[in-house]
């Protein structure tokens, strides 16, 4: 989704804004632009396509001022083009916008009837028109923004500047994230801290309906009614190096290689190694939650374990890859803790009028912590009186801030649009959570907990071994890209991994792929199988192995070419498959963490071999802040 950067300070705004937009590239975009102060006016430069196109246009452009705003656009209203790129400028007001104005038609008609002329097809330009009209009356940009907010419906965050107040930048948040970086004599405003960390680690997170007023190097945060707010300044422990490629060709490949560390970092805070037990440190479910009035027993209980022991139903809600992690959680929680689990795609959950009984726990999973549908699902769950727990990578993101309890992926910055390390970290966390819940409810013995924990603690080292398939897939990519499509199949806890493998191939290689429960094959997909169809069968030695093997025989009998993933030196699988990839022997609970790595590598190498932009696949965004 769109990226926003604004800067006031002694450095060249052009450089800071371009650098910031570059660091936000992962969000996905199709055009970009800046408006920077020069000789008393905000000079606008925009370009369609990649940031390098904008950079070319900016070469040699003199900008004398200290203030500027910039934007990468991900088209919603109007095709990707220079005329639709931001900033939009109307009568000296320049504006960048992230989100969607839902009452766009109505505003456009109203503006048109009062004589406005439009230079783009965007909803964002309308906001610039409204602001230009308002500022004529208020003669003050902050007051103009306040005046325009009630006229807009939808989710939208904006930065605005006005030529008559050349030291002033106004930022408003309603939906898409906005953060302020407070440096020494300089201020950076951006959609994500990644655009800020090179300049300062002092961060102020704006909440919905807050307005930040930057005046020179000082700032204030206000409610939309204009009341001053006292906002905490957080100190980040990230640094800019964390968002470099470190010698890898792509962020995605670097992130695939970082997975063993990501899993170790996700696990570390939550394991008591002396007692070999899960402790879910700092999860925060013991903090009183004012919306629990309908669940008195939960409210009265003293700590996280007690609270969770009273949970009678778990809902796991997420989108995309995070949703597949949620489906793995269902298998683990139901099997280990014996609590019924419903999983739902957030965009369905929020509109299907779900029944959320008392003593329900709603777990929302989101790497970015900003996914609009997941955030809406969380809010719905809170209104229904459920306990809520978020699993996020980005701390202080909207979902993290609004959930009652928190688990952190601790994966470090994930830049590749295709999620990899955040996924495996989540799988590790749902392992821990299931064990914790199982213990809290008396569902497993200390010995069982120890066995599962030992298996989990061993995974980072086992993952290192699986990463060696990198070379194999690099060599096989040329052959694999020739298939008409790929069917990924598995059973049980690995079924979501089949779906995740298919999603990875779709989003990166733009090849058709499906993830299926292997037992479903004869109910339809078998008809697809011939020698042009590649079958990827995830078949580790677990309780489903024999049945998966029969499904493999069926696929082979129809001429499908098979890559199988099994445990150790499995002769049966070798005989039935064109290619056999061996996974280390592990507990069923951690097999998904190991099995997903070859599927990520397959998608990565096929996409790279096809010449696709692996880190920024077409049409996709990292942080999906509109529904
Ligand atoms: C993953 O590779 C995707 N690009 C996408 O499905 C992603 O997982 C989804 O949009 C959810 O994002 P979140 O985890 O940040 O909420």
* pTM attached to this predicted model: 0.74
Closest CA to 487 of 521, 448, 454, 457: 521
Mutate to test the pocket of ligand 1, among 252, 419, 425 (most ligand atoms within 8 A of CB): 419
Over range 309-323, report the average pLDDT.
94
Q: Is the pLDDT of residue 627 over 90?
A: no
Counting from 1 in the atom list of ligand 1, the atom nearest the Cα of 321 is 8
What integer pLDDT is reported at residue 240 of this predicted model? 54
Q: How many domains does the chain have?
A: 3
Domain interval for residue 584:
469-609
Task: Read off the pLDDT of residues 173-217 as tens digits, 9 standing for 90 and up.
Answer: 998 889 999 999 999 999 988 899 889 989 998 988 999 999 999
What integer pLDDT is reported at residue 396 of this predicted model? 86
Task: Read off the pLDDT of residues 32-43 as tens digits, 9 standing for 90 and up.
Answer: 999 999 999 999
Distance 399 CA to ligand 1 centre (A): 14
Q: Is the pLDDT of residue 119 over 90?
A: yes
pLDDT category at 518 given cuts 50, 70, 90 is very high
Distance CA 356, CA 477 (A): 46
- In a domain, residue 615? The reply is no
Task: Read off the pLDDT of residues 220-241 as tens digits, 9 standing for 90 and up.
Answer: 999 999 999 999 998 876 655 5
- The answer to whether residues 218 and 273 belong to one domain is no
- The answer to whether residues 309 and 171 belong to one domain is no
Asked which of 464, 499, 517 is the last residue of a domain, the reply is 464
- In a domain, residue 620? The reply is no
What integer pLDDT is reported at residue 530 of this predicted model? 87
Please list, in sequence order, all residues whose beta carbon lies within 8 angstroms of the beta carbon of residue 275, skipping any fewer than 6 positions away: none
Provide the annotated active-site residues. 2, 622
Mutate to test the pocket of ligand 1, among 367, 604, 607 (most ligand atoms within 8 A of CB): 367
- In a domain, residue 486? The reply is yes
Asked which of 216, 242, 268 is the last residue of a domain, the reply is 242
Distance 573 CA to ligand 1 centre (A): 32
What integer pLDDT is reported at residue 91 of this predicted model? 94
Structure tokens at 164: 């008559």
pLDDT category at 248 given cuts 50, 70, 90 is confident
Atom 4, ligand 1: residue with shortest CA distance: 418
**DSSP label at 337?**
I
Q: Is the pLDDT of residue 486 over 90?
A: yes
What integer pLDDT is reported at residue 542 of this predicted model? 93
Distance 621 CA to ligand 1 centre (A): 9
Share of the chain above pLDDT 70, in %: 94
- The answer to whether residues 57 and 81 belong to one domain is yes
Asked which of 242, 257, 281 is the last residue of a domain, the reply is 242
Over range 9-34, report the average pLDDT.
90
Residue 78 is part of a domain; what is its CATH number?
A: 3.60.20.10
Distance 540 CA to ligand 1 centre (A): 26
pLDDT category at 289 given cuts 50, 70, 90 is very low
Task: Read off the pLDDT of residues 355-378 as tens digits, 9 standing for 90 and up.
Answer: 999 889 999 999 999 999 999 999
Structure tokens at 320: 């995309």
- The answer to whether residues 490 and 559 belong to one domain is yes
- E strands within 191-329? 202-205, 210-215, 218-223, 228-229, 234-235, 271-272, 277-278, 313-318
Closest CA to 21 of 44, 50, 43: 50
Distance 253 CA to ligand 1 centre (A): 17
Return the C-alpha torsion angle 328, 329, 335, 337, nearest 10. 170
Q: Residue ranges of the alpha helices (H) in 301-445?
A: 304-309, 320-332, 346-349, 372-383, 398-402, 421-440
- The answer to whether residues 458 and 475 belong to one domain is no
What integer pLDDT is reported at residue 300 of this predicted model? 38
- The answer to whether residues 279 and 422 belong to one domain is yes
What integer pLDDT is reported at residue 288 of this predicted model? 44
What integer pLDDT is reported at residue 556 of this predicted model? 87
Residue 422 is part of a domain; what is its CATH number?
A: 3.40.50.10490
Atom 8, ligand 1: residue with shortest CA distance: 321
Distance 539 CA to ligand 1 centre (A): 26
- The answer to whether residues 263 and 169 belong to one domain is no
Distance CA 197, CA 203 (A): 9
Distance CA 460, CA 287 (A): 32
- The answer to whether residues 516 and 592 belong to one domain is yes
- In a domain, residue 500? The reply is yes
Ligand 1: list residues with CB < 6 Å: 319-322, 366-368, 371, 374, 417-419, 507, 620, 624
- The answer to whether residues 262 and 228 belong to one domain is no
Atom 5, ligand 1: residue with shortest CA distance: 320
- The answer to whether residues 24 and 152 belong to one domain is yes
Q: Is the pLDDT of residue 402 over 80?
A: yes
Atom 10, ligand 1: residue with shortest CA distance: 320
Atom 2, ligand 1: residue with shortest CA distance: 418
Task: Count Cβ atoms below 10 Å from residue 226 Cβ, excluding itself.
Answer: 11
- The answer to whether residues 307 and 391 belong to one domain is yes
- The answer to whether residues 148 and 192 belong to one domain is yes
Task: Read off the pLDDT of residues 49-108 as tens digits, 9 standing for 90 and up.
Answer: 989 999 999 998 888 899 999 999 887 777 888 899 999 999 999 999 998 888 888 999
Counting from 1 in the atom list of ligand 1, the atom nearest the Cα of 419 is 2
What integer pLDDT is reported at residue 193 of this predicted model? 85
Least confident among 291-305, 380-394, 606-620: 291-305
- In a domain, residue 361? The reply is yes
Mutate to test the pocket of ligand 1, among 28, 74, 319 (most ligand atoms within 8 A of CB): 319
Q: How many residues does the chain have?
A: 627
Counting from 1 in the atom list of ligand 1, the atom nearest the Cα of 617 is 4
SS3 187: strand
Q: Is the pLDDT of residue 290 over 60?
A: no
- In a domain, residue 616? The reply is no
């Amino acid at each position: 989704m769109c990226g926003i950067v604004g800067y006031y300070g002694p450095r060249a705004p052009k450089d800071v804004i371009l650098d910031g937009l570059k660091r936000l590239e992962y969000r996905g975009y199709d055009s970009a632009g800046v408006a920077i102060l020069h000789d008393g006016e905000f000079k606008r430069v925009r370009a369609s396509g990649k940031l390098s196109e904008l950079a070319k246009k900016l070469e040699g452009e003199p900008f004398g001022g200290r203030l500027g705003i910039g934007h990468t656009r991900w088209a919603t209203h109007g095709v990707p083009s220079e005329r639709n790129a931001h900033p939009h400028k109307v009568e000296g007001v320049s504006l960048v916008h992230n989100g969607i104005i839902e009452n766009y038609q109505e505003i456009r008609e109203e503006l048109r009837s009062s004589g406005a002329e439009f230079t783009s097809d965007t909803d964002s330009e309308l906001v610039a028109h409204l602001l230009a009209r308002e500022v004529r009356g208020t003669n003050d940009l902050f007051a103009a923004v306040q005046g325009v907010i009630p006229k807009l419906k939808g989710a939208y965050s904006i930065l605005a500047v006005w030529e008559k107040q050349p030291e002033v930048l106004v930022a408003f948040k309603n939906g898409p994230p906005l953060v302020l970086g407070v440096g020494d004599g300089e201020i950076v405003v951006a959609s994500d801290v990644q655009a800020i960390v090179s300049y300062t680690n002092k961060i102020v997170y704006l909440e919905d309906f807050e307005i930040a007023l930057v005046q020179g190097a000082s700032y204030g945060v206000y409610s939309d009614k204009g009341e001053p707010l006292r906002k905490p300044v957080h100190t980040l422990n990230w640094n800019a190096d964390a968002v470099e490629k470190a010698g890898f060709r792509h962020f995605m490949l670097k992130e695939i290689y970082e997975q063993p560390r990501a899993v170790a970092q996700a696990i570390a805070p939550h394991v008591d190694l002396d007692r070999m037990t899960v402790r879910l440190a700092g999860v925060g479910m013991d903090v009183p939650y004012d919306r629990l009035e309908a669940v008195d027993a939960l409210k009265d209980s003293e700590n996280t374990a007690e609270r969770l022991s009273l949970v009678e139903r778990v809902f796991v809600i997420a989108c995309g890859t995070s949703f597949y992690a949620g489906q793995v959680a269902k298998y683990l929680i139901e099997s280990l803790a014996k609590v019924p689990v419903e999983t739902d795609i957030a965009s369905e959950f929020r509109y299907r009028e779900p029944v959320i009984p008392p003593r329900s726990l709603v777990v929302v999973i989101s790497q970015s912590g900003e996914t609009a549908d997941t955030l809406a699902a969380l809010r719905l769950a809170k209104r229904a009186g459920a306990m809520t727990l978020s699993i996020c990578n980005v701390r202080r993101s909207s979902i993290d801030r609004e959930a009652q309890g928190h688990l952190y992926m601790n994966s470090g910055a994930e830049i590749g649009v295709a999620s990899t390390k955040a996924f495996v970290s989540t799988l590790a966390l749902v392992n821990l959570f299931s064990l914790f819940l199982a213990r809290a409810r008396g569902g497993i013995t200390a010995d069982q907990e120890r066995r599962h924990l030992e298996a989990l603690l061993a995974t980072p080292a086992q993952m290192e071994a699986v990463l060696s398939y990198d070379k194999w897939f690099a060599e096989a990519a040329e052959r694999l890209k020739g298939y008409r499509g790929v069917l990924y199949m598995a059973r049980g806890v690995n079924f979501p991994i089949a779906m995740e493998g298919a999603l990875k191939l779709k989003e990166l290689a733009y090849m058709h792929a499906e993830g299926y429960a292997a037992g479903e094959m004869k109910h339809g997909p078998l008809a697809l199988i011939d020698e042009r169809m590649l079958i990827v069968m995830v078949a580790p030695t677990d309780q489903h192995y024999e049945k998966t093997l029969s499904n493999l025989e069926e696929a082979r009998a129809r001429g499908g070419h098979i890559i199988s993933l099994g445990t150790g030196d499995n002769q049966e699988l070798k005989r039935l498959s064109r290619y056999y990839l061996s996974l280390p022997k592990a507990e069923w609970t951690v097999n998904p963490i190991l099995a997903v790595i070859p599927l990520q590598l397959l998608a990565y190498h096929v996409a790279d071999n096809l010449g696709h932009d692996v880190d920024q696949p077409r049409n996709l965004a990292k942080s999906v802040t509109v529904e």
